[in-house]
């Protein structure tokens, strides 16, 4: 049956070769049979800039994506780890980067897609940081630094983020219910909304202004790979065999 696939939060890294292997296998065995593959952010542990491609970063994954995209369209929405992906990444992989959020139509239904971090509005420290680093001026300044300096900065930032996360509550790091409602209203009540980021895979039902919306949260790939399949009958959450 014709279907589309959705994944997010793989956090591919040279330090976790098993996940990279699982990802490449997923592309070659599963995604190749799909009509479209959507990657909703945090594909990589971090992305320091498109010039990392030239030094061989994530070569195996990038090559596998390029092979797939010759036959299956692949779309990407940036995560908080890989929002610096740009034209160089698109060219190297054949992937098209979409804005966050994006409303698409699949099998006759509007489907809203996002990474999901923008909805964590209770995490005030993160949102302040997010606003800063998503500005063009900040990104131009950051990307003008040598790659080694950027990587060193990101490593420090990762440590700071982990330290802050250890004292933030679970609720603060989840999506804010009112922010979800506002987004669903803004996009005229899409019946399906898919996002990642929180690493809490679940189907949530939203009843809002006498409309209903299924919100599907994708899982991360730390312990086991997973994906969401959407066909004319709706969404189905699937785990990869280990």
Q: What gap in Å lies between CA 195 and CA 204, rounded to an integer?
A: 11
- C-alpha–C-alpha distance, residues 202 and 205, integer Å: 10
Number of residues that bind ligand LP5 (CB under 6 A): 23
Which range, of 85-93, 97-105, 117-125, 221-229, touches ligand LP5 by CB under 6 A? 117-125
Residue 101 interacts, among Mn ion, ligand LP5, none and using kind-specific CB cut-offs from 5 to 8 Å, with none
Minimum distance between the CB of residue 227 and ligand LP5, rounded to whole angstroms? 19
User: How many other CB atoms are there within 10 angstroms of residue 175's CB atom?
Assistant: 24
Give residues 183-222 in contact with ligand LP5 (rule: CB under 6 A): none
166-175, long-range: CB < 8 A, 24+ apart: 168/123, 171/122, 172/120, 172/122, 172/123, 173/120, 173/123, 173/198, 174/120, 174/122, 174/198, 174/200, 175/116, 175/119, 175/120
Check residue 123 for interaction with ligand LP5 (CB under 6 A): yes
User: Residue 116 or 225: which CB sits closer to ligand LP5?
Assistant: 116
Provide the total of helices (H) and of strands (E) in the chain, helices listed first. Answer: 7, 11
Two tokens, residue 70: 């010759």
Candidates 22, 26, 37, 42: give the one binding Mn ion (CB under 5 A): 42
Pairwise CA distance, residues 230 & 37, whole Å: 10
Piece of the chain touching Mn ion by CB under 5 A; list 60-68, 168-176, 189-197, 207-215: 189-197
Q: Does 121 bind ligand LP5 (CB under 6 A)?
A: no
Selected range binding ligand LP5 among 50-58, 104-112, 150-158, 182-190, rule: CB under 6 A: 150-158
Residue 75 interface partner, choices Mn ion, ligand LP5, none, CB cut-off 5-8 Å depending on type: none
Give residues with Cβ within 8 angstroms of 129, minimum separation 6: none
- The site for Mn ion (CB under 5 A) is made up of 42, 79-80, 197
- The site for ligand LP5 (CB under 6 A) is made up of 46, 80-81, 84, 117, 120, 123, 125-126, 129, 133, 142, 153-154, 156-158, 160-161, 164-165, 168, 173
């Amino acid at each position: 049956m014709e279907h589309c696939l959705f994944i997010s939060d793989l956090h591919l890294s040279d330090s976790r070769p098993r996940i990279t292997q699982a990802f490449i296998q997923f592309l070659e065995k599963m995604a190749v049979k799909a009509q479209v593959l959507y990657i909703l952010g945090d594909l990589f542990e971090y992305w320091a800039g498109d010039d990392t491609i030239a030094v061989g970063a994530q070569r195996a994954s990038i090559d596998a994506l390029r092979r797939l995209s010759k036959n299956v369209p692949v779309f990407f929405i940036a995560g908080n780890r890989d929002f610096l992906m740009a034209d160089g990444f698109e060219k190297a992989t054949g992937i098209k980067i979409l804005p966050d959020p994006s409303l698409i139509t699949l099998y006759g239904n509007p489907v809203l897609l996002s990474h999901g971090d923008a909805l964590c509005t209770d995490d005030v420290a993160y949102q302040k940081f997010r606003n800063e680093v998503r500005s063009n001026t900040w990104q131009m300044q950051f990307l003008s630094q040598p790659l080694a300096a950027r990587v060193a900065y990101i490593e420090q930032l990762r440590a700071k983020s982990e330290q802050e996360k250890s004292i933030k509550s679970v609720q603060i790091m989840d999506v804010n219910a009112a922010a979800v409602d506002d987004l669903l209203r803004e996009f005229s009540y899409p019946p399906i909304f898919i996002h990642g980021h929180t690493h809490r895979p679940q189907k949530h039902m939203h009843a809002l202004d006498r409309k209903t919306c299924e919100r599907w949260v994708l899982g991360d790939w730390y312990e086991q790979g997973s994906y969401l399949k959407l066909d004319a009958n709706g969404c189905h959450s699937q785990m990869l065999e280990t």
